[in-house]
Chains A and B, each alone.
Chain A
Amino acid sequence: MRSSSFRSAAATVVLYVVLSLLSLLFVFPLYWLVVSSFKPLSAIFRIPFEWWPVDWTFKHYKDGWRFMGSVTFARVYLNTAYVTIVSVVATVFTSTLVAFGFARLRFFGKNALFVALLATMMLPTQVTLVPTFLIFDYLNLIDTYAALYIGAFFGGGAFYIFLIRQFIMGLPFDLDESARLDGASTFRIYWSIILPLCSPVLITIVILSFTWTYNDFFTPLIFLSSIEKFTVPVAINTFLDEAGTGKVGVAIAMTTLSVVPLLAVFFAAQRRFMQGIATTGLKG
């Protein structure tokens, strides 16, 4: 008894050491961004790398936050928050609906449609850009926030649907069966039985769709023109000219800043992983 608890304590210590060492590896890119964002422009590229800034400056943050004319980065963050929140909420609802349909219901052409769903991830977007632009133009979506989140209302993309479908397929089928015998409607099975059991994957979906919408550069670049609608990545892009030099310090500072909301959301969301287990324990 005693030796086994000693062994597990030792194992925990080893685990901490290993995780901490690996963490050094993973934290480095962010570390590079953070220290560089406080260095004067001429020190960012100095060789060898300055592990700690010799001269500190907050200029990049001040210059960056001011952004452009009457539009400050506060506005940029409001835009991004709006688009991201709408996207995440819509994605969670529509993608689970569709995934439930593919995982649990039987209808004509399901397998073919499922392959079609997967296939939508396989055609490089570069070649569908022109017709997509025309369709968006026809629907009056050009230079609107809606252009950035409309996809979320149509299942959010094959990635999320496929992912949730895989998780639902891993849930026992008798749950549905017994609920159905009790007279539950299909929607009720989806809403009250399957969704709660999916919480780990729903958290994953929240994290992923948040990160992707938040960091998406190409969609806002193509479909937005008004600076007062810009989201974080396109706003950072305006500091970088073709030489890729000019305001590199500002771009680095604003990129560093942009990681903060992502970190907060990730950290808050992953805590729920643990709480999810208790609920899933019910099954089987």
Chain B
Amino acid sequence: MGKTWKRHLEGYLFIGPWFIGFLVFMLIPAGWSLYLAFTDFSFLKPPVWTGTENVRKMLDSDVFWKSLRITSVYALLSVPLHLGTALLAAMALNVKIRGIGFYRTVFYLPAFVSSSIGVAIMWKMIFSDSGVVNAVLTGIGLDRVKFFNSPDNALYTLVGINAWVLGTAMLIFLAGLQQIPRELYESAKVDGAGAARRFRSITLPLLTPVILFNLILGIINAMQVFTNGFVITRGGPAQSTYFYVLYLYEEAFKFFRMGYASLLAWVLFLIVLLLTLLTLRSSSAWVFYETEMKGGKR
């Protein structure tokens, strides 16, 4: 009895730093914004309770549905593409050859640059109608592409840029690959397993905890995509990159409808939470923790 009590306490001591921060810096602001979701709040005057008025407005709004659709399309394309390229790059970089550190650094470069401010101009210049990419395309005899200057292409250009910035996902895959013991590969080789076989029966299963992580983070980030839509395309042209969080941001800080924006935030929260829980639920079928292999308890 006393021992169980001690065990619970120990658990709480370990997660304590996060838990205190969670109560103070997360739960209070989150609760406050949940309340605001049912009010009319314009920053400078006290909120006024309006009940479900915001909900009605949201369901009636074309822009709400439109931005949700744009964001979903972005997420559907961007998550698999981004994770796929990041995994391929991580595997190519997980070799022991001279100078590999240089290549790793180079592959990670776009992540340094793209998160710095003041580079919106750079992306515009690179992808503009007479920009560098088009110069290269016409140089090799292809047609010019309107990357940002077309409602049909702008969204896909942003998906492409996101795939190009391998950054975090690649690094995490690389760390995951590093953690896989070499001996497993060597003994598989001795058993005569080919490269494809080794990938399927060693790399992939042992990497699943990391894939799960990257997948969940990918979904969260894609559904909250904001920065590039804000600084490069400003949601346009013709609202073709008007992402959900961009809509939310403009409702809050351009039109001062913070109550409504809070509702939008909580709706997105519920959508992302649902997607995450579904992913987690499915994970027991495909994620492989070493703990299980050894018959240990989770």
- Tell me if A255 is interfacial: C-beta within 8 Å of chain B: yes
- Tell me if B30 is interfacial: C-beta within 8 Å of chain A: yes
User: When the two chains form their complex, are residues A201 and B175 in contact, meaning their CB atoms are under 8 A apart?
Assistant: yes
- Tell me if B21 is interfacial: C-beta within 8 Å of chain A: yes
Q: From known contacts A128-B30, A172-B290, infer whether A25 and B95 are also in contact, taking CB-CB under 8 Å.
A: no
Closest to B270 in A: A122
User: When the two chains form their complex, are residues A105 and B10 in contact, meaning their CB atoms are under 8 A apart?
Assistant: yes
- Tell me if B97 is interfacial: C-beta within 8 Å of chain A: yes
Binds B, one of A53-61, A68-76, A79-87, A203-211: A203-211
User: When the two chains form their complex, are residues B121 and A244 in contact, meaning their CB atoms are under 8 A apart?
Assistant: yes
Closest to A96 in B: B14
Instruction: List the B side residues contacting A29 at CB < 8 Å.
Output: 109-110, 113-114, 119, 122, 126
Roughly how many angstroms separate A283 CA and B179 CA in the complex, as a whole number? Answer: 10
Instruction: List the A side residues contacting B248 at CB < 8 Å.
Output: 124, 126-127
Instruction: List the A side residues contacting B172 at CB < 8 Å.
Output: 163, 204
Interface residues on B, range: 35 or more
Give the dominant DSSP class at B's interface. Answer: helix
- Tell me if A16 is interfacial: C-beta within 8 Å of chain B: yes
User: When the two chains form their complex, are residues A281 and B116 in contact, meaning their CB atoms are under 8 A apart?
Assistant: no
> What string of 1s and 0s marks CB contacts (under 8 Å) between A22-36 and chain B?
110111111011001
Binds A, one of B58-66, B73-81, B212-220: B212-220
Instruction: List the A side residues contacting B108 at CB < 8 Å.
Output: 266
- Tell me if A154 is interfacial: C-beta within 8 Å of chain B: yes
Roughly how many angstroms separate A132 CA and B272 CA in the complex, as a whole number? Answer: 22
**Interface members, chain B 19-44 (any A CB < 8 Å):** 19-22, 24-26, 28-30, 32-33, 36, 43
Interface residues on A, range: 35 or more
- Tell me if B107 is interfacial: C-beta within 8 Å of chain A: yes
- Tell me if A77 is interfacial: C-beta within 8 Å of chain B: no
User: When the two chains form their complex, are residues A18 and B92 in contact, meaning their CB atoms are under 8 A apart?
Assistant: yes
User: When the two chains form their complex, are residues A107 and B29 in contact, meaning their CB atoms are under 8 A apart?
Assistant: no
User: When the two chains form their complex, are residues B118 and A208 in contact, meaning their CB atoms are under 8 A apart?
Assistant: no
Roughly how many angstroms separate A41 CA and B47 CA in the complex, as a whole number? Answer: 48
User: When the two chains form their complex, are residues A201 and B179 in contact, meaning their CB atoms are under 8 A apart?
Assistant: yes
Instruction: List the A side residues contacting B26 at CB < 8 Å.
Output: 120, 128
Q: How many contacts between A and B, using CB within 8 angstroms? A: 287
Give the dominant DSSP class at A's interface. Answer: helix
User: When the two chains form their complex, are residues B109 and A113 in contact, meaning their CB atoms are under 8 A apart?
Assistant: no
Q: From known contacts A126-B245, A174-B296, infer whether A237 and B183 are also in contact, taking CB-CB under 8 Å.
A: no
- Tell me if B201 is interfacial: C-beta within 8 Å of chain A: no
User: When the two chains form their complex, are residues B103 and A122 in contact, meaning their CB atoms are under 8 A apart?
Assistant: no
Instruction: List the A side residues contacting B212 at CB < 8 Å.
Output: 166
- Tell me if B277 is interfacial: C-beta within 8 Å of chain A: yes
- Tell me if B51 is interfacial: C-beta within 8 Å of chain A: no
- Tell me if A116 is interfacial: C-beta within 8 Å of chain B: yes
Residue from B21, B24, B115, B175 in contact with A200 in the complex, judged by beta carbons closer than 8 Å: B175
User: When the two chains form their complex, are residues B269 and A135 in contact, meaning their CB atoms are under 8 A apart?
Assistant: no
- Tell me if A78 is interfacial: C-beta within 8 Å of chain B: no
**Interface members, chain B 71-115 (any A CB < 8 Å):** 89, 92-93, 95-97, 101, 103-115
Roughly how many angstroms separate A107 CA and B14 CA in the complex, as a whole number? Answer: 11
Instruction: List the A side residues contacting B117 at CB < 8 Å.
Output: 217, 233, 236-237, 240, 255
Closest to B177 in A: A200
Closest to A133 in B: B29
Roughly how many angstroms separate A17 CA and B103 CA in the complex, as a whole number? Answer: 11
> What string of 1s and 0s marks CB contacts (under 8 Å) between A124-139 and chain B?
1011101110010000
User: When the two chains form their complex, are residues B175 and A169 in contact, meaning their CB atoms are under 8 A apart?
Assistant: no
- Tell me if B203 is interfacial: C-beta within 8 Å of chain A: no
The 5 closest A-B pairs by CB, nearest first: A154-B21, A107-B11, A101-B14, A173-B296, A155-B18
Question: What are 9 of the A-B contact pairs (CB < 8 Å)?
Answer: A19-B92, A19-B93, A124-B269, A127-B36, A161-B18, A170-B179, A204-B175, A259-B116, A284-B184
Interface of A toward B, CB cutoff 8 Å: 12, 15-16, 18-19, 22-23, 25-30, 32-33, 36, 45, 47-49, 94, 97-98, 100-102, 105-108, 110, 113, 115-124, 126-128, 130-132, 135, 151, 153-155, 159, 161-163, 166-167, 169-174, 177, 186, 190, 200-201, 203-204, 207-208, 211-212, 215, 217, 233, 236-237, 239-240, 244, 248, 251-252, 255, 258-259, 262-263, 266-267, 270-271, 273-274, 276-277, 280-281, 283-284
